[in-house]
Structure 1
Amino acid sequence: MTVEFCGEEFAAAKGTPLTIGRTGDVEIDDNPFLHRSFLQVVEDGGLWWLTNVGTTLTATVADKKGLFQAWLNPGARIPLALERFTVWFTAGPTTYDFDIIVDTPAFTATGTEDVAEDDTTGETTVGRVTFTPDQKLLMVALCEGLLRRSYSAPGQIPSSADAAARLGWKVTKFNRKLDNVCQKLADAGTRGLHGGPGKLASNRKARLVEHALSTRLVTEADLALLDALDHDTTGAGTTHPHDATAPPRGT
């Protein structure tokens, strides 16, 4: 079993836990929001397991085809029974991911992604959940920083104000559509997205980004939606929003 992070490989040995966190065998980052020991990979009963040994942070685990996804709470563990997984987690303002490769997996993933797009309406359907074009754009804008990275470097999730400006929306419109997306997914059984006490907007956005990436609801190909938006805006005489010297939108 091997963990790949930022271009480096870390091999796990049977009988010895491989620790992932601010310190340990796989040092993620000197991030004060990240646990010193957050996750562990260990062999037990003939299977490799991923365990959340932290106290507050969660992790999203999925296979590369988007057919399997788990939300790993503190104290929980899952068997690493497939060939390859990606793990996402957010500590403070930063989102990280790394891959896990199992040399001799117990199972093989089969099937295809349950994602389709209606050419006539532009709506995207995942399982029982249908998203409008604006809702899809919102998710792509939130995931853009992670999708445009090289390797598995840390990524930043934009604030609601920045994401709204990226799309040329008012913040009230962005927040309303964010509520709608989170509610749709929560109604379909996705955990960690429902509003309420203790559910801060930043936490919901981080969970939404992890879910969208892990289920391949949003992929690098979807960046074309934002590029098309940039083209339309640039054609109207506005500089690309990623240009450090560019004025704010609307000026």
Structure 2
Amino acid sequence: MTGVEMDHQNATTPDLRIEFCGEWFEPQAPGPFTVGREADLAVDENQYLHRRLLSFTYENGLWWLANVGQTIGVSLSTGDGVYQAMLGPGAKVPVVFPRLVLLFTAGPFTYELAVHCAQAAFHSASVVADVDDPHQMTIGSVALTPSQKLLVIALCEPLLRDGLAGQSQLPTSAQAAARLGWPLTTFNRKLDAVCDKLDREGVPGLRGGVGKLATNRRARLAEHAVLSRLVTPLDLPLLDAPS
């Protein structure tokens, strides 16, 4: 079963450390410690990025993470796929896990950073999955065909190769289609199918519509796939395997 287990320790002010591009930052209580274009942690000069997107504050015995931006959603996960959530603008969550991986996209770039809390209250419970069909991969009740999995790997390739490098530029649909040797129409059709599958399972941000651009949908799919371990760096050789 997926879940979390409580670590009953009497904690004082927990140490919080943030890892970005190989550098470490240590917010001091009570904060705030901000992340954005012009912030305590300035991740990039990208004009699509809010001047301040994230804020860490220490309140009521816990560190809290808030999305203080206006339009950018932030994907967060324990890194093992056990716990995953979307932090929308105005939302706020306590930092209760030893390690959280955060992904967010601004314009063509996706940024990744890790948050470490030395005295977190929870830790992930391990999950064991059974895979009976070698031609499909199942996450919950979502099964990807081999070609659908290749599509996801192609979209996520920069993130999977860069790891916690901090900044990656996701491929366009045309670039990902060319990487796979597919016509763009085939790629878009399969992208629709993957997004529909995940949308039916409750993954937000994958439905088209007014104000929901294809770029945002691709970025959200890549963020979800990496954080949920739908694809991992071990899958990268599949891109160059004979078809």
TM-score, structure 2 normalization: 0.90
Q: Hey, what's the Cα distance between the residues in 1 that align with 2:132 and 2:122?
A: 30
Residue 39, structure 1, aligned to residue 57, structure 2: no
Q: 2:138 aligns with which of 117, 122, 125?
A: 125
Q: Does 1:78 align with 2:93?
A: yes
Matched residue, 1:25: 40
The separation in 2 between residues aligned to 1:145 and 1:108, in whole angstroms, is 29
Distance 2:107 2:78 in 1: 25
1:7 aligns with 2:7: no
Q: CA deviation at 1:23?
A: 1.3
**CA separation in 2, counterparts of 1:92 and 1:12?**
27
Per the alignment, do residues 101 and 117 of structure 1 end up closer, same or farther by CA in structure 2, a change over 3 Å counting?
farther
- Match of 2:197, SS state, is helix
CA spacing shift, 1:210–1:220, aligned 2, 3 Å: same
Judging changes above 3 Å, is the alpha-carbon distance between structure 1 residues 5 and 174 closer, same or farther for their aligned structure 2 residues? Answer: same
Equivalent residue of 2:122, what SS? Answer: coil
Which residue identity lines up with residue 25 of structure 1 in the other structure?
D
Contact between 1:115 and 1:217, CA under 8 Å: does it hold in 2?
Answer: no
Return the offset for 1:5.
Answer: 0.3
Q: 1:198 corresponds to which residue?
A: 211
Match for 1:18: what amino acid? F
Determine the structure 2 residue equivalent to 1:179: 192
- 1:197-243 alpha-carbon deviations (Å, 9 max, x no partner): 222111100000000011011110010111314xx6xxxxxxxxxxx
For 2:78 and 2:123, the matched residues in 1 are separated by 11
Taking structure 1 as reference, are residues 150 and 58 closer, same or farther at Cα in structure 2, changes over 3 Å only? closer
Give the C-alpha shift of residue 117 in structure 1. Answer: 6.5
Query: Are the counterparts in 2 of residues 59 and 73 from structure 1 also a CA contact under 8 Å?
Result: yes
Cα offset for 1:26?
Answer: 0.7
Does residue 100 in structure 1 map to residue 115 in structure 2? yes
- Work out the CA distance in 1 between the residues paired with 2:107 and 2:96: 30
CA distance in 2, matches of 1:46, 1:114: 36
Matched AA of 2:103 = W
- Equivalent residues of 1:19, 1:40 under 8 A apart: yes
Gaps of 5+ in 2: 1-15
Task: Output the CA distance in 2 between the equivalents of 1:131 and 1:117.
Answer: 13
Deviations 1:62-100 (A, max 9, x none): 002110111011000111111001000000000010000
Q: Secondary structure at the match of 1:139?
A: helix
Conservation of the 8 A alpha-carbon contact between 1:115 and 1:126: no
| Amino acid in structure 2 at the alignment position of 1:35 | H
Which residue among 47, 50, 56 is the counterpart of 2:71?
56
CA 50–175 in structure 1, closer or farther in 2 if over 3 Å, else same? same
| 2:7 corresponding residue in structure 1 | none
Question: Offset at 1:147?
Answer: 1.2
Contact 2:113 2:166 in 1 (8 A): no
Task: Report what 1:166 is aligned to.
Answer: 179
Question: What is the one-letter code of the residue matched to 1:209?
Answer: A
1:104–1:53: structure 2 CA closer, same or farther, 3 Å change rule?
A: same
Task: Give the superposed CA RMSD.
Answer: 1.3
The answer to whether structure 1 residue 147 and structure 2 residue 160 are counterparts is: yes
Greater Cα shift, 164-173 or 146-155: 146-155
C-alpha separation in 2, matches of 1:150 and 1:181? 23
CA contact (8 A) 1:67 1:113 kept: no
Matching residue within 127, 132, 135 for 2:148: 135
Contact 1:67 1:215 in 2 (8 A): yes
C-alpha distance in 1, partners of 2:40/2:49?
15
